[in-house]
Amino acid sequence: YNEYKSYLRYESSLGDQESTSLLGSASKRYEDLHENWRQRPYQHLFWLPKDDAIFHALGNVDALSSYIGLTRVHCGCHDDVLGDLRTIQCNLQDIGSVIATPESDNKSIAMPTFSTHWITDLERKIDTMTTQLPPLSNFILPSGSAASAYLHVCRTATRTAERSLIALDPSHGGDIATVVKYVNRLSDYFFTAARFCSYRDGVPEEIYTKPELE
């Protein structure tokens, strides 16, 4: 892959025909390598099987970040929430590094970190939004404005990610305990942000009522 990038870097100094031939050759080697790794039943990360709990956790965190990216498209004029969502996506990227680096006897491997600051930051934002909302006295349905509905999807995806994090081996080590606490608070953030956006958009919350039997 690095070789392929090097060819790209020098493309501008080559003639069109020579550049096309050179890039085609490098691209073919890269695709062959990618296909070879894709078909293996084991991933390169510490040679773990593809159904290992680490890959489940990484996949669920990646899915959550993708849902957040989709939500950013539909948050409209909620600039404060949009800023939060981008920060959360960056934090999830760092969380992926923590998940992908379990403690080992190889001390040359630098352990990625995740600060408890981000837990406090979420709690502060939850409190700020809550003070501007009417009290919640009933169960509500995931609905409201478009931004609210998408944030509820993020909330449920966060719960899935949290469950997969808890399923990791207790000996995983590093800052995984901090990561679990952050993701736990993150679902509360999404619930509150969903209510907050719906309230600001002027869309009433839909209260749960038990359906009557016909």
Q: ∠ CA(147), CA(153), CA(156), 5° rounding?
A: 145
The 10s digit of each residue's pLDDT in 105-161 is 556 677 889 999 999 999 999 999 999 999 998 999 999 999 999 999 999 999 999
- Rounded CA gap, 187 and 169, in Å? 22
The alpha carbon of 174 is separated from its chain's Cα centroid by a whole number of angstroms, namely 19
Q: Is the dihedral of CA 114, 117, 121, 127 positive or negative?
A: positive
Range among 15-19, 29-33, 102-106, 119-123 rated most confident: 119-123
- Residue 116 has what pLDDT? 96
pTM of the predicted protein model: 0.76
